[in-house]
A and B are shown apart, each in its own frame.
Chain A
Amino acid sequence: MLNRWETLFLILTTVPIMGHVQILPLIYDVAGRDSWIAASLSFPVGIGLIIVIYRLRLKYPDLDFRGISQHLLGRFVGKTLLLVIAFYFLFLSAFSAAAVTDMVNISFFPETPVWALVIFFLLFCLYAASKGVKVIAYTALFIGVFALFTGHSISFIDVSEKEFNHILPLLEFGFAPVIWGTIALISVWAELIFLLFLPLQNIRRERFLRFWMIGGLGIFFTMISTMTGTIMVFGMGQTDSFNYPALETVRILTLGFIDRFDIYGLILMTFGCYIRSALFFFLAYDQLVPHKEQHRWVRRGVFLGLGLLTGGLALYIANNHLRIEYFTMLYTNALIFAPIPFLLLAFSWIKRKNHKEMSA
């Protein structure tokens, strides 16, 4: 069972990796220097998701997502939905592994075979996943505190390099690119549906909503600061050509005892993707194999099978940078998951209303 702090740091270490590193080149392609406006427009959706998920968890404190979905949608639709989301989580796990591998391969180890990087990464992630969500949350807490302290320091060190005029003029190409950018970024916020799957401590007693809102603000802050920061440092023209714009901003840093600080980008990307990959893998596995019903060896077999599937997919995606770009575009289709919590809450209202009418 996770407490509010652990869920907060899970939010802060998983979602921002997509929001301010992986999806950045795509957002710059779509929305250009107005990306930060797109991020601002997508923020209410994210906050709405958090509120709706919280209300659902509050409404059904004793049920997990399996229980909630089957209670509201029926057995068949509930199970189907669960299966779809489980595979979405598996995709996220594989995509995170592929993303970090691609970045490491392009920026640090161009001569190392991709398969070696993927296998090495996934071995550690699967180990973390095998330890369960509580241990992953503990690791997220440790990483989160480190990132909170260092991330802001890095942003401040960068200030002297920034030129505010680079993000002007606003809305140069009208509203359409911003809208497309917003839609793409909703797919990042849609990842928050993982909050529906976490085992939580007493939701009535702990102030989960407040902490989740802080998590949402954290995601928004990292999106905005990186989107504007990179353009302010390099200008739109140069930024557009980067594979990993967020990495370039730390690459130019010099700390006296360290000549180039791009190692910090490697640290954060590895940390974040490690938590993402392990968490989403665990959640997918947890949905596909309910623990109590299965024999230990069956569970291990499924774990291994899913591990091989994730590894294979990660290897396929990471093998070529163009595939990473393609799958980043594919990833934006995940915005279809964003309405799910809203629909579930609506169903619960309708169900309650019908129940009241029936009993009246």
Chain B
Amino acid sequence: MIKFAKRRFQKRNNGLPLASNLSTYQQFAPLANDIKKNETYINERFGESSDVNIHSFQLPLNENEYIEALLVYINAFIDDHSVSRYILEPVKTFHTFTLNEESSITTIKNRINVSEIQEEADLNRCIDEVLHHQALLMIDGASAGLLMNVSGFEKRSLEEPFTETSVKGPHIGFIESIEDNLALLRRHIQHPALRVHMFQLGTLSQTKVAVTYMDGIVKPGIINEINKRLQKIDVDSVNNAGHLEQMIEDHPYTIFPTIANSERPDRTAMQLLDGHFAIFVDGDPITLVAPNLFMEAFHGVEDYSSRPYYASFVRLLRIGGFLISITLPASFIAAVNFHKEIIPSEMISGMSASREVVPFPVGMEIFIMIILFEIVREAGIRMPQPIGQAVSIVGALIVGEVSVTAGLVGAPTIIVVAVSVLASFAITRVADVMGILRLALLLPAGLFGAYGLLLSLLGLATHMFSLQSFGVGYMAPLAPFHFRDWGDTFIRLPIQWRRTRPQSIPHEKKEKIKRLPIDDKGDHP
């Protein structure tokens, strides 16, 4: 019945489809010859929204004759100056128009001073493009409209990424505009093999999504897989990169991220050149990079612009920091409650004395302190910056010194929790994972001591070994075992020793460095 009514309406509407609120409008809707009908249809689809500018005006054909024209755009997306200067001015001062339908739109197109301009005969597509920052010009009697890129909305300027700062190397991060982000990437890889596939996801949000990769380096199977997954997405909206990440990842229920995030063009470019692919989402500065390996979380972008010795040292510190951060509170509980024999005897008396007045068992004490810390941290992040700093200082004072003085917690507990939390700051890419694991391991350690902790860690290891990121083992190069990649896993060997792409990420081109000055030994003293 509804279908029948729709067809009736379309017939009356000069063949244009019914303009209901949430239709997808994927079918072809030819521009009507009568510009009024097109205007009505556009008005229906936009529901006369006040931010949509539907500017009706007359084009002079000659001294006495005029033709009706319609310019449609969304105010916030378009640069008004460009519209009046490069579109309206040239067409309004034009006087030798003929009423030939075929040539009229092309003639106008040639007069408009906009570089990105195209003819479009599908009204639905025209409307979609208006939503994607284009201006639409239609003239009465023409079977096609003109889509012009005169976008000019406010954007954030290029800044250093907040989460991936570096001392050495570039200080530019991605912003919220997908076009600018792709341009930033192109600046790092100025080669035609850099491929960009655009998708539009979300029937209502119509979010632009770009898959980028290096042709000839990435394994085609991986690109086929991501394309397949993106094509299968049928949702109302894709709000941001994190939202999309949850739709395409291999293991949606794990706490480990099998798709990496980055805000840095240099890092993304480097990963593309190693055989990864990257996904950009319009409106989000975060880029999704896959396949993602767990050990890559310990790699800083600065590692590759620093000397290998210190970079290796820092990398080992990060790995140590991860282990300390997740296991120290649980190990402390296990040692104090079940395995006092592993604590040096000189320490035991001091520890016991500091806990004498504490009313809680050590497990609960640690648990409360971690939760308190998480609250202080969250408050510090979410509050406005000056207040946030104050919250952190007051929180640290209360949580630290005052609670020890008041006898609520023991000093060793404060040290354990503080060290554990500080260690987690060394690795921001898996900070959320560490936060969960730090808490989760308290329970088995509290129940079964080291036995519980060990078994939980084994279970965790097994879980991690079972994960995959687009068909690539998440724990590579440890398992699957690729010994050659170890030179850039726990440590970073000098560049002269790493001339091939990592085996862990499948790729089509093995060699990365063909020749270095050091190869000509005669040239060096």
Contacts and interface: CB of A to CB of B under 8 A. Distances in A.
Interface of A: 3, 5-6, 104, 108-109, 112, 116-117, 120-121, 124, 127-128, 131-132, 135-139, 141-143, 256-263, 266-267, 270-271, 274, 278
A128 B459 contact: yes
Contact of B338 (A3, A109, A139, A271): A109
B136 interface: no
Given A127-B459, A128-B459, A260-B342, A138 B465 contact: yes
Contacts of A117: 448, 451
Given A131-B462, A131-B466, A270 B455 contact: yes
Contacts of A137: 479
B525 interface: no
B475 A138 contact: yes
Given A112-B448, A131-B466, A263-B341, 5 more contacts: A120-B447, A124-B455, A128-B458, A143-B458, A270-B458
Given A108-B451, A124-B455, A141 B339 contact: no
B344 A142 contact: no
A139 B481 contact: no
Contacts of B479: 137-139, 141-142
A266 B450 CA distance: 8
Is chain B's binding surface mostly helix, strand, loop or mixed? helix
Is chain A's binding surface mostly helix, strand, loop or mixed? helix
Interface in B436-468: 444, 447-452, 454-456, 458-459, 461-463, 465-466
Contact of B462 (A128, A258, A261): A128
A266 B454 CA distance: 9
Contacts of A139: 458, 461-462, 465, 479
Interface of B: 338-339, 341-345, 444, 447-452, 454-456, 458-459, 461-463, 465-466, 473, 475, 478-481
A141 B478 contact: yes
B465 A142 contact: yes
A270 B448 CA distance: 13
A236 B140 CA distance: 107
B338 A267 contact: no
23 contacts: A108-B449, A116-B448, A117-B448, A120-B444, A120-B448, A121-B455, A124-B458, A127-B462, A128-B459, A128-B462, A135-B465, A135-B466, A136-B462, A138-B462, A138-B480, A139-B479, A141-B479, A256-B344, A263-B341, A266-B450, A267-B450, A270-B455, A270-B458
Nearest to A262: B341
B32 to A, nearest CB: 55
A259 B458 contact: no
Contacts of B342: 258-261, 263
B465 A5 contact: no
A255 to B, nearest CB: 9
A124 B459 contact: yes
A136 B458 CA distance: 10
B94 to A, nearest CB: 71
A108 B459 contact: no
A136 B466 CA distance: 9
A258 B456 CA distance: 22
8 nearest CB pairs, A to B: A138-B479, A138-B465, A260-B341, A124-B459, A131-B466, A135-B466, A128-B462, A270-B454
Nearest to A100: B451
